[in-house]
Structure 1
Amino acid sequence: AAQKVGYPVAVKPLDSGKGRGISLMVSDDDAVRAAFAIARRYSAHVIIENHIVGADYRVLIVDGRMRAAAKRLPAAVTGDGQRTIADLVAEVNKDPRRGVGFSRLMNRIELDAQSDALLTKQGHSRKSVPKHGELVLLRETANISTGGTAVDVTDVVHPENRWMLERAVRVTGADIAGVDFLSPDISRSYREAGGAICEINASPGLRPHQIAEGPPRDVVGPIVDMLFPEKGNGRIPIAAITGTNGKTTTSRMLAHILRSAGDAIGIKTVGLVTTDGVHVDDQLVGKGDFAGGTGARVLLRDPSVEAAVLETARGGIVKSGLAFEHCDVAAFLNVATDHIGLDGIGSLDEMAVVKGRVIEAASGLAVLNAEDPRCLAMAAQKEPQQVCLFSAAELTAEQREHLSRGGLAVSLAGDPDDQIIVLHHRDGTEEIAPVGRIPATLGGAARHNVLNAQAAAALAYGLGIPCARIGEALSSFESSFDRNPGRLNVFEGHPFKVVMDFAHNPDCVRVICDMVKRMKVDGRRICMLGSTGHRQGEHIGEVCELVAQRFDSFICTRNKRVSEERQSTRGFPGEEIPHRLAAALMENGVDASRIVTIDDDNEAVDRGLTMSREGDLLVLLLNNREWAWERIRGFQAKDAE
């Protein structure tokens, strides 16, 4: 092989590094055999190349541009006419910059078989005393890892050499590369002086430039700037959503906006944490209630996630804290009595303080419900331009005053039957979307989803999404089971309409009642109460007071597993829940003939489906939504009573 290539040659191990096992200027067959044996110590495969005459230069290319160039010098000592080569090496190794491996910027010079062979070629041994000023080489290669040094030559690289080296790296597709360029003189064009690229290293060491004599070169800064462009800090946009009700739907709406319109701000992959699980784009990566620090950390540690939408619940904040120092935008939707009495929280004001930590952490826009006094009070913590107040009505007095001080607001505008969600800021007003075009609002009947859509829109705007793109995305967000399971899922595949929701506390049920009032129903209104009273018994009376005059028939039931798990916070056995619901309904004027009590919510769903007739509206308020939705879809009219 050496004869075919032509002498002199270089003999190298194929897959080694740091200059180990390399023999240069090998000029005859016997020398090739000896060099081959040395190379085989470091690799099972050996390569033979033309020996290129010239100095050894390392050129660093970052993001297509040359950033530094250094002339590498092999390990060597200079004689003083008095000390042996071994003594001179020991003196050089006293340099505090030298160490073993990567413990120091430079490496110690090692006397070994390779150095002994090279010394023999020069007529020396370790015990030789070289003449004063004589340069004695200890390595043929100029690697820093074998004790070499370097001199900076960045300012003298010929422009044609620079262009050629940059182009060579671009061809490989490498963002960062260290080019080993051999040339008689790098200040002369390769076209005139000759030269060749020996290697292009995709993960180059920076030490040749850091130890080089001459002007210091910043070789780390360009790499950091390339990895984090536009003075980025490596963080991804984070949106945190908290409140008692609506945070799951709002989080899902915002994630949908970012998936649909994230290209406007350079986002492709969106992570979402809710009480149902952890999603990366549409893929479920963890099922369960992750609405706290645990789920957030899963997303923030995932390098594929480019934006994170984090539902942040009271329990998660108390038990595991926030997973971030700050978030870019945050929303505080409302405060209600649900969860009062848990985790040492005894009042609505205390609950507001806990959930308010999310607003405190917002470095950008804080989105607050202008209809909730405790949310509204949080605006005082921020500058007006950092706060957006939203309300499912025309501008309120509080919003108008906030706008006058330079703040932002989201409200409704237009005729009552044709309302539009609009954003107000210091430069004017922008339309986001007509309420009727957002499927999740059920044509405006689901007022709570109007509020949720407003909050999601404000958060998206705070992240930099244009209003027109926000409106387009909201117009394609359906409150279907696939998109938003357990939250206002509507099924219209039967002669009657079915609405399934997770509503369990008085505030949730109030918005359901408001929605039912707005809906056109030709037949009966039937309500299954299957999630109320599981955690807090006092909710039973409040909920029954709300629904008593809104529905014609009732099914009172419970989820056995959930009710038994939460008995300690409720104070009475789970099997009493259906009967307490029935009693509360009768106290509010509902005749007993209109009430059915069933101790199992699965059986109650079946009862609701079989008793429904054409034109009826069946509202199922329950916990066991996966089973229930499959039962709704699979129900056959022949099963009806």
Structure 2
Amino acid sequence: MKAIVIETVKPGGYSIINADDPLVLSVQEGARGETIMFSLDPDNPSLKDNLKKGNMNVTCRDENIIIQKGGWTSIVAKVNEIPITYNGKAPFNIQNAMAAVAATSALGLNEKQIRAGLVSFSPSIGLSPGRMNVIDLDYFKAVIDYGHNPGAIKATGELLPHLSVGRKLRMAAGTGNRRDEDIIEFGVILSRYYDHVVVTETDPRGRPIGVVANLVKQGLLKGGLSEKQISMISDVRVATDTILNMARKGDLVVLQADDVHFIIEYVMEYKNIKKRQLSKEVVNDDHSKEGGQNAG
């Protein structure tokens, strides 16, 4: 289905191709307009072929994102300068940055303009809600992310150890219009990266409530998690509250944000409540100390 996008490019337009994805490469013959390719590997054979055709490439070399065309190469930005790459630890977002470089270069922006955009764009709830938003909740961190397919779970899962040394906890929900085996596989992949998963129900898409969640649970068990490492809570609000309160110092809680604005509002309210509780505890502690001194 997504191949239709590059098949409908108008004359004088551009098809931007991810040369690291075999499925994308398999449909490139149908691409119209000028082809721009991007890849994490500067020695990718597809990039070399694309250059020979006189087309543009975007890739990484020596920790820099570069543009190649003809006989020239231009550095756009250092990878670790780009906030969404998490200091280069998020390859999937390096790819996203390269795709952005390809698109903006095709639109006529120069390297200085493109770099300014890359280094000023952060994965914050203000600029990119629901896309790897990391929120510090005092003694643990929460990540709000919309990713809900196996590819997204793998990509974010490999980044998690770089964000926190503690346990990895996840609130997750399957998608009802997938095949049973795909939903089970979703659970299997989750089991590789998380110490505890709270399974909720957000998008049954016509299936009876509980069916999708139970398929996810089957996958989690198949992947090696125990019954004790799985909680089944159909209400999203209760599921969110449960997993946040489950966190200990140093843990990382990943919240699947099918309803992005609800999750963001809930987490920020949770943060404010915890801040007020901490302030109250500090005040009470100060009063206790004063009382002890007066008694002496």
TM-score, normalised by the number of residues in structure 1: 0.41
| SS of match in other structure, 1:620 | strand
Of 39, 42, 56 in structure 2, the residue corresponding to residue 408 of structure 1 is: 56
Pairwise CA RMSD:
2.1
Higher RCO, 1 vs 2 (CA within 8 Å, ≥6 residues apart): 2
Shift of 1:581: 1.7
SS at match of 1:430: strand
Structure 2 counterpart of 1:524, from 167, 174, 183? 167
Partner of 2:261: 626
Deviation, structure 1 residue 615: 0.8
Amino acid at match of 1:580: L
Q: Which runs of 4+ in 1 moved over 6 A?
A: none
User: 1:208-287 maps to which residues of 2 (within 5 A)?
Assistant: none
Equivalent residue runs for 1:264-413 within 5 Å: 351-358=1-8, 360-361=9-10, 363-381=12-30, 386-413=34-61
State the secondary structure of the residue aligned to 1:503: coil
Segments of structure 2 that go 5 or more residues without pairing to the other structure are 279-296
Which amino acid is 2:7 matched to? R
Q: Give deviations 1:25-64, integer Å, cap 9, x for gaps.
A: xxxxxxxxxxxxxxxxxxxxxxxxxxxxxxxxxxxxxxxx
**Helix, strand or coil for the counterpart of 2:253?**
strand
- 1:476 & 1:507 partners in 2: Cα distance? 27
Q: Verify the 8 A CA contact 1:395 1:412 in the aligned structure 2.
A: no
Using the aligned pairs only, state the percent identity: 26
CA distance in 2 between partners of 1:509 and 1:458 (Å): 25
Rounded to whole Å, the distance in 1 between the matches of 2:260 and 2:29 is 40
Q: Which residue of 2 aligns with 1:457?
A: 101
Shift of residue 393, structure 1, vs aligned partner: 2.9
User: What amino acid maps onto 1:549 in structure 2?
Assistant: R
2:239 partner SS: helix
Contact 2:189 2:223 (8 Å CA) reproduced: no
Cα shift at 1:368 = 0.8
Which letter maps to 2:13? Answer: G
* Counterparts of 1:379 and 1:583, CA distance in 2: 37
Of residues 105, 113, 118 in structure 2, which corresponds to 1:469?
113
Matches within 5 A, 1:193-208: none
Q: What residue ranges of structure 1 are gaps of 5+ in the alignment?
A: 1-350
- Say if 1:455 and 1:362 are closer, same or farther in 2 by CA, change over 3 A: farther
SS at the partner of 1:443? coil
Are 2:171 and 1:538 equivalent residues in the alignment? no
Aligned with 1:602 (options 228, 237, 256) = 237
**Structure 2 residue corresponding to 1:587, chosen from 204, 222, 234:** 222
Which residue pairs with 1:508 in the alignment? 152
In 2, Cα distance between equivalents of 1:492 and 1:362: 48
Measured in 1, the distance between the counterparts of 2:14 and 2:166 equals 46
Deviations 1:564-595 (A, max 9, x none): xx12xxxx413222232222211111111111
Q: 1:393 to 1:621 in 2, by over 3 A?
A: farther
C-alpha displacement of 1:621: 1.4
Cα drift, residue 427 of structure 1: 3.8
Which amino acid is the alignment partner of residue 521 of structure 1?
S
The separation in 1 between residues aligned to 2:87 and 2:11, in whole angstroms, is: 33
Give the Cα–Cα distance (whole angstroms) in 1 for the partners of residues 26 and 182 of structure 2.
26
Cα 1:362–1:597 shift into 2, 3 Å: farther
| SS of residue in 1 equivalent to 2:120 | coil
Distance 2:47 2:195 in 1: 39
Structure 1 distance, partners of 2:209, 2:114, is 44
Q: Distance in 2 between matches of 1:412 and 1:361?
A: 29
What CA deviation, in whole Å up to 9, does each residue of 1:195-232 have, x standing for no partner?
Answer: xxxxxxxxxxxxxxxxxxxxxxxxxxxxxxxxxxxxxx
What are the Cα deviations for residues 214-254 of structure 1, in whole angstroms up to 9, with x where unaligned?
xxxxxxxxxxxxxxxxxxxxxxxxxxxxxxxxxxxxxxxxx
Name the aligned partner's letter for residue 355 of structure 1. V
Instruction: Report the Cα distance in structure 1 between the residues aligned to 2:26 and 2:225, rounded to whole angstroms.
Output: 40
Q: Which has the higher helix share?
A: 2
The CA deviation at 1:533 is 2.6
Q: Secondary structure at the match of 2:74?
A: strand
- Secondary structure, aligned partner of 2:65: strand
Partners of 1:378 and 1:540 in 2: CA distance: 26
Larger radius of gyration: 1
Contact 2:146 2:257 in 1 (8 A): yes
- Go from structure 1 to structure 2 and tell me whether the alpha carbon gap of 1:629 and 1:400 turns closer, same or farther (over 3 Å shift): same
Distance in 2 (CA, whole Å) between partners of 1:413 and 1:621 is 33
Amino acid at match of 1:595: I
CA contact (8 A) 1:557 1:577 kept: no
Code of the residue aligned with 2:5 in structure 1: it is K
1:475 alignment partner, SS class:
helix
Equivalent residues, number:
273
Which amino acid in structure 1 is aligned with residue 153 of structure 2?
A: V
